[in-house]
Amino acid sequence: MEVSSPSDSLQKGPHTSSNPQLPPSPPDSTKVSSASSRRNSNSEIAESPCHVDRSGNKASRCYPLPPRCKPDNKVLAEDLKTPDNHVVRDPRLIRLTGIHPFNVEAPLSELFDEGFLTSKDLHYVRNHGLVPKVEDTEIMDWEYTIEGEVENPIRMNLEQLIKDYEQITYPVTLVCAGNRRKEQNVVRKTKGFSWGPAGLSTALWTGVVIGDLLKAARPKRGAKYVCFEGADRLPNGYYGTSIKLNWAMDPNRGVVVAHKMNGEMLAPDHGKPLRIIIPGQIGGRSVKWLKKIIVTREPSDNWYHIYDNRVLPTMISPEMSADLPDTWKDERHAIYDLNTNSATCYPAHDEKLPLGQGLKSYKARGYAYAGGGRRITRVEITLNKGKTWLLANISYPEDEYRLAPEGEELFGGRLDMSWRESCFCWCFWDLDIPVSQLQESDDIMVRAMDDAMMVQPRDMYWSVLGMMNNPWFRVVIHKEGHTLRFEHPTQPALMPGGWMERVKKAGGNLSNGYWGEKLSGEDAATVEEEPAKEICMINKEVTRTITIDEFRNHGGEVEPWFVVNGEVYDGTKFLEGHPGGSVSIFGAAGQDASEEFLAIHSENAKAMMVDYHIGSLDEASLALLTDRESEVLEGVAVRENFLQSKVWSKAVLSGKKKISADTKIFTFNLEHAEQLVGLPIGQHLMVRLRDPATREAIIRSYTPISKNTERGKLDVLVKVYHDTPARKGGQMTQALDALPIGHAVDFKGPIGKFEYLGRGACTVAGRPRQVRRFVMVCAGSGITPIFQVLRAVLADRDDPTRCVVLDGNRVEEDILCRADLDAMVYGDGNEHRCRLLHTLTRPGPDWTGLRGRLSAELFEKEVGRGPAGDGGEDLVLICGPEALEKSVHAIFTGLGWKDDDLLFF
């Protein structure tokens, strides 16, 4: 469903339009050019470093400042049971490797929208293990050494580094070598996890040029390398790597020992209190939590230097790589300088461009970067798969710093930029494309070139680690009626979406050089992807049979066992060696981990499972573990409540009722006629089905619309997203719609942090609240949890709680549960207790209600600015697509509401 809200521009990107709701488009708009713009910018810094010459006059040029950080970030709930339970993080970051270790990138649009500099909140993070804990009181005493092939070994602390050496500041873009790896993983699984195109960030780094330190240590004759080692102890020792000594000594390379990021001390995820920053090279060389600088005659022999950050020859498979130690140690395969790369940020993935509204052109925008100090000199766009090219505009915000006057200081360091020609940062490209040309094109592709005339290749170079992926970035254009919809190649981590996954599922050959399109004369045999080699994960000498009781006795933190494909594995011996730490294994203990394990792990990891294989579940135990509905219950034949929090329970589909063109109510019979669902008001349940084609599990959360007092049945309202020629529909909703009457479906629950107890009393994350007024904001099928709470409030005539419901939709037919809502509010005489408002963005001629988006003006008029604070409490309940939720959050906080008063279902 298309949701009407001002957040469309936030998630989907601005069009070239005069629409006042759309944000400005220049990517370097964070530049400070006046005191007025400074007050309205995202800058955290009270005083802008606008330049003042020796006569006291402000210079005419200024440079970008860091965006403002979120003041309300905290330790997230998912980190509380991990070794990182001391680290404050931003919940917007996308986790790429589960809960721990912390490897994340920002949503691409949000990263781009922050501008040239990235806040520490959204800066990407690559951690191999736990984050060392360093108290603020210990920072200045943090010691590190310069040792090895030096005449004058040095041991010093951070206080001495700051006091005894000149401090410099300059911007650097750090890029993970795995940036865009998800594209390689779609073609064929590599040994690396799935980065999207947001594995890069830019910050201002303050510290000491490493050449000054090395000169003080005096390297010996014959020394050629500088090794770095951090404090993060990992299964294979401390993380470490090396670069060439002459690079470290070259001031044009800009290698710095840094202790500040964007003017603040380093955050824990970014190396607190000390790290190396190596501009122009992959992020894996910029060691965090620095403890040792070691000058050597040979490259580092650290395990992570040898077996990480390499591009092996493309013919080496993950299976082959396990037996090629000499290949791994070959320095010719090591990655240092970044390669040339670019990506399109707008149009964003799934962004829609309406036609016929007077738009003549669309401003496509994105980023580009190069390595080794090289400058991006050219960015080109093709709308016809490379037959012809258009030259894009390029902006270089980095150059603004070069114009600072001599002696300029920023964050306690000299702004060391005016003399340097090397480019250390990303740049931004844009191109106004006529909408008429977009209508005639199937895709937009971008490539960049640097000043060494190195240009991005058309085709992918697949390698076993999936590093340095940089083929042309392709965005597909779908024509959907009077709308163009744009589709990026992939989405990060295990997030579904992107034309590559869609093409591969349809049988396309993504390695044929034509983006999976069938070539003229190409038969099915040549298009079919070569089947992946089956990896043996069992020890064929193990014949032990394990019962369900024996297995469940190992579901805790002593000898944790887990199941993959019906086989039992003991993770005890790998607790220290697991890259994700022991918490990853304890989280799977006593569980069937098949789906998550097989989806995330590489072929090498699967091959390692042989060493931990201890037996097989017997058939009866496997059935119990898989279905779990038999795990009922300690001799109780009939349960009063259907839902169980740790056990899947089966209900039988007994009816389907169509209530709109694409929405149905699915009715399920519970285990017996007197059984209650057992779902508290305001909470949800999980539904599990199997994909009819792949048999993979599909799990989604829903809120029933049946009353929690009803017995024997369960009603779930579902909007069905069907396949179209242009896009894949909803996996779960189509599977539900295809189910025959009489088919069993799995349910589990309840889940959710909100529960309504009655008469204004509720709990949020276990904390009691007394609510005077509920403000309920929803769209489409997001009405269901709102409906559940509203019904409970209005059913009790003595309940003093008031409600305001704002329901945003596109057309009148999209308003769900309308008759029931009207009956609750108007039929029962509850108009004085509830105000029910619907607004449409595409109303018909007979519509007499509100028109337009769920906007700030509407909320301020109908709800007001901030909680009233007159003895009662207001609580905003929000449910809808992600774009709606982000928009509502931004609007309400802008109107003075606190995050504690905003609850997202």
Alpha-carbon separation of residue 63 from 50, 394, 405, 544 (angstroms): 8, 17, 12, 68
Phi, psi of 372 (to 5 degrees): 65, 25
Alpha-carbon separation of residue 682 from 63, 176, 874, 880 (angstroms): 49, 41, 16, 15
Match 């005096």 to its residue by tokens.
218
Q: Tell me how far apart the alpha carbons of residues 753 and 879 are, in angstroms, rounded to a whole number.
A: 14
Closest CA relative to residue 584, chosen from 84, 70, 208, 159? 84
Given the DSSP bridges, would you call strands 834-840 and 850-851 parallel, antiparallel or unpaired?
parallel
DSSP 165-227: S--EEEEEEEE-TTTTHHHHHHHS--SS----TT-EEEEEEEEEEHHHHHHHH-BPTT--EEE
The single residue of 269, 308, 450, 662 carrying the catalytic annotation is: 308
List the strands of the sheet with 103-105, edge to edge: 94-95, 103-105, 125-126
Q: Are the beta carbons of 308 and 579 closer than 8 angstroms?
A: no
Is there a catalytic annotation at residue 708? no
Give the 3-state secondary structure of residue 715: strand
Q: Tell me how far apart the alpha carbons of residues 475 and 446 are, in angstroms, rounded to a whole number.
A: 9
Q: Tell me how far apart the alpha carbons of residues 756 and 106 are, in angstroms, rounded to a whole number.
A: 34
Closest CA relative to residue 206, chosen from 141, 283, 259? 259
Q: Tell me how far apart the alpha carbons of residues 143 and 138 are, in angstroms, rounded to a whole number.
A: 10
Q: Tell me how far apart the alpha carbons of residues 226 and 147 are, in angstroms, rounded to a whole number.
A: 10
Q: Tell me how far apart the alpha carbons of residues 168 and 516 are, in angstroms, rounded to a whole number.
A: 49
- CB atoms closer than 10 angstroms to residue 237: 11
Q: Are the beta carbons of 814 and 782 closer than 8 angstroms?
A: no
Q: Could you give the residue ranges of the DSSP H alpha helices within 393-461?
A: 398-402, 435-440
Match 């339009």 to its residue by tokens.
17
Beta-carbon contacts of residue 481 (< 8 Å; ≥ 6 apart): none
Q: Tell me how far apart the alpha carbons of residues 303 and 537 are, in angstroms, rounded to a whole number.
A: 25
Q: Tell me how far apart the alpha carbons of residues 209 and 46 are, in angstroms, rounded to a whole number.
A: 27
Instruction: Tell whether residue 176 is among the known ligand binding residues.
Output: yes
Q: Tell me how far apart the alpha carbons of residues 258 and 210 are, in angstroms, rounded to a whole number.
A: 9
Which tokens is 841 given? 């963005």
Q: What type of residue is 686?
A: M
Q: Tell me how far apart the alpha carbons of residues 210 and 223 are, in angstroms, rounded to a whole number.
A: 16
Beta-carbon contacts of residue 391 (< 8 Å; ≥ 6 apart): 378, 379, 380
Closest CA relative to residue 755, chosen from 710, 792, 782? 792
Closest CA relative to residue 321, chosen from 579, 580, 608? 608
The single residue of 309, 339, 341, 809 carrying the catalytic annotation is: 309
Q: Tell me how far apart the alpha carbons of residues 6 and 418 are, in angstroms, rounded to a whole number.
A: 41
Match 């070569």 to its residue by tokens.
530
Beta-carbon contacts of residue 700 (< 8 Å; ≥ 6 apart): 686, 687, 732
Is there a catalytic annotation at residue 176? yes
Q: Are the beta carbons of 839 and 850 closer than 8 angstroms?
A: yes
Which tokens is 317 given? 């498979």
Q: What type of residue is 510?
A: L
The single residue of 176, 762, 834, 879 carrying the catalytic annotation is: 176
Match 């009489």 to its residue by tokens.
742
Is there a catalytic annotation at residue 427? no
Which tokens is 261 given? 């990021």
Q: Tell me how far apart the alpha carbons of residues 738 and 811 are, in angstroms, rounded to a whole number.
A: 26
State the binding site: 176
State the binding site for Mo-molybdopterin: 176
Which residues are the active-site residues?
Answer: 176, 308-309
